[in-house]
Amino acid sequence: MLDIKFIRENPEKVKENIKRKFQNHKLPLVDEVIKLDEEYRTIKTKADTLRNERNEISDNIGNLMREGKKEEGLALKDKVTSINDELKDLEEKEEKYAADIKEIMYKIPNIVADDVPIGEDDSKNVDIEHIGDPVVPDYEIPYHADIMASFNGLDKDSAARVTGNGFYYLMGDIARLHSACLSYARDFMINKGFTYVIPPYMLRSDAVNGVMSFEEKEAMMYKIEGEDLYLIGTSEHSMISKFKDQILKEEELPITMTSYSPCFRKEVGAHGIEERGVYRIHQFEKQEMIVICKPEESEEWYNKMLNYTVELFRNLDIPVRKLVCCTGDLADLKYRSCDVEAWSPRQKTYFEVGSCSNLTDAQARGLGIRYKDSNGDKVFAHTLNNTVIAPPRMLIAFLENNYNEDGSVNIPEVLRPYMGGKDKLIPIKK
């Protein structure tokens, strides 16, 4: 969420930013919210004047009563009643205007960094760096679901019977590998100085509205029927919301956390939701990293967090690349974002396994997350998030890049303590 004062003072900059994101249908919102804000401030000023007048009269009534001037005091009480009647109407309008303004503000995108590439969609994202050699072996790499099946590790048919498409059972060594990756990612981040957290897996609507755009919420979130609760699509939402309406101490910053959670997504409009693998699914697990920091530190943390994910994937012998997201591919609250994509030797291309984002103060404004600086001023913090790993999708890259011609799968050294010391998985069937 942007600062309404910023929109008032920079309407053309806000409109130009909307154009850069190819969201021209939102341009009228800028003038609309400025007009509403002007009317709101007029009403609020009038209401504040009446509230002050009522307070002064109430003080006078008390003084008159103590002085025995009962009739004069009662006359003033009539004046207070009249003011209260007028205030009731003004305060109802005040509340409605404030709600209308907030609703529109949720729809106006955050200002994007000047150096973010311009583009309508992810086809215009920019490849900036490759880390690791993308090897294509001289033997065939099977489809990931077939690799998992060779270990009796995947059952989507049973999941479809009990839950529907887009769900799965992981079993045996594949399930163990899934948990091993998450455990390694957890310890990797703890060793980077991050605090491990397991958050709530549901959020109320006021928290959801503060951490993501309306469009994202509609496309992603599962609503609990009859409750003001949503299943989280990522633990970032719970983790940032943890500090809702809080005034932090400057010396507490930066706050660095790594969180585990299951994630639930509707994947509205997604292609391939019924395909036999586990690339696009309704339920998965993820290790996330989250930072809350001072504004002047957020870009430094953005680069650190991005490189942590790259380091982790290289430790798992998976080549990756960094892909800078263009303006049209950025979610509304994001200032900048970079996808980490893993190499697929089977497809001979890269695919997304994580995304690192700086949201500046957009989430903090929506949730009221501030800190008191050395001057005593209350400043909105900056928030950042990044995927550490999100199996089972990242297992696709892991299995393909560690697959041997005989059907076995190598276990990198960093994972062996989590796999009972095994250095290789041997298929049960071929």
Q: What is the pTM of this model?
A: 0.89
346 is a domain residue: yes
205, 101: one domain: no
140, 77: one domain: no
β-pair type (202-203, 126-131): unpaired
- Chain-centroid distance of CA 10 in Å reads 26
160, 12: one domain: no
128, 200: one domain: yes
113 is a domain residue: no
Task: Name every residue whose Cβ is closer than 8 Å to that of residue 425 and which is 6 or more positions away in sequence.
Answer: 151, 173, 177, 408, 409, 411
Task: Name every residue whose Cβ is closer than 8 Å to that of residue 3 and which is 6 or more positions away in sequence.
Answer: 365
Question: In Å, how far are 201, 225, 303, 412 from 179, measured between CA atoms?
Answer: 18, 31, 27, 15
Q: Per residue in 270-302, pLDDT tens?
A: 554 446 688 888 889 999 999 999 999 999 999
Q: Which residue shows structure tokens 């154009």?
A: 19
Q: Residue 424: its pLDDT value, please?
A: 96
135, 84: one domain: no
248, 339: one domain: yes
292 is a domain residue: yes
Q: Residue 352: its pLDDT value, please?
A: 94
Domain end marker among 44, 79, 105:
105
Rounded Cα distance, 184 and 318, in Å = 15
Domain end marker among 105, 133, 167:
105
Task: Name every residue whose Cβ is closer than 8 Å to that of residue 253 and which is 6 or more positions away in sequence.
Answer: 292, 293, 294, 297, 371, 381
Q: Per residue in 22-48, pLDDT tens?
A: 999 999 999 999 999 999 999 999 888
Residues of the domain holding 164: 122-425
CATH for 43: 1.10.287
409 is a domain residue: yes
Q: Residue 216: its pLDDT value, please?
A: 78
111 is a domain residue: no
CATH for 376: 3.30.930.10
110 is a domain residue: no
Strands laid side by side in the 378-380 sheet: 247-249, 370-372, 378-380
Task: Name every residue whose Cβ is closer than 8 Å to that of residue 216 and which is 6 or more positions away in sequence.
Answer: 331, 332
Domain end marker among 45, 73, 105:
105
Rounded Cα distance, 274 and 33, in Å = 42
Number of domains in the chain: 2
Q: Residue 48: its pLDDT value, please?
A: 87
Question: In Å, how far are 20, 105, 320 from 34, measured between CA atoms?
Answer: 21, 10, 45
84 is a domain residue: yes
Rounded Cα distance, 240 and 259, in Å = 11
55: alpha, beta or left? (left if phi > 0; alpha if psi -120 to 50)? alpha
Per-residue pLDDT of the chain (430 residues; tens, 9 = 90+): 899 999 999 999 999 999 999 999 999 999 999 999 999 999 999 888 888 877 777 776 666 666 666 666 656 766 777 778 788 888 889 899 999 999 999 999 999 999 999 999 999 999 999 999 999 999 999 999 999 999 999 999 999 899 888 889 999 999 999 999 999 999 999 999 999 999 999 999 989 888 887 777 777 889 999 999 999 999 999 999 999 999 999 999 999 999 999 999 887 445 544 466 888 888 899 999 999 999 999 999 999 999 999 999 999 999 999 999 999 999 999 999 999 999 999 999 999 999 999 999 999 999 999 999 989 999 999 999 999 999 988 999 999 999 999 999 999 999 999 999 999 999 997 6
158, 282: one domain: yes
Closest CA to 119 of 273, 329, 297, 333: 329
Q: Residue 392: its pLDDT value, please?
A: 87
Q: Residue 317: its pLDDT value, please?
A: 94
Q: Residue 429: its pLDDT value, please?
A: 72
156, 42: one domain: no
| Axis crossing angle, helix 27-66 with helix 70-105, rounded to the nearest 10 | 160
Task: Name every residue whose Cβ is closer than 8 Å to that of residue 333 and which is 6 or more positions away in sequence.
Answer: 1, 109, 110, 211, 212, 213, 359, 362, 363, 366
156, 184: one domain: yes
224, 92: one domain: no
Rounded Cα distance, 174 and 188, in Å = 21
101, 129: one domain: no
Task: Name every residue whose Cβ is closer than 8 Å to that of residue 121 and which is 6 or more positions away in sequence.
Answer: 326, 328, 329
115 is a domain residue: no
Q: Residue 249: its pLDDT value, please?
A: 94
37, 174: one domain: no
Q: Per residue in 327-383, pLDDT tens?
A: 999 999 999 999 999 999 999 999 999 999 999 999 999 999 999 998 999 999 999
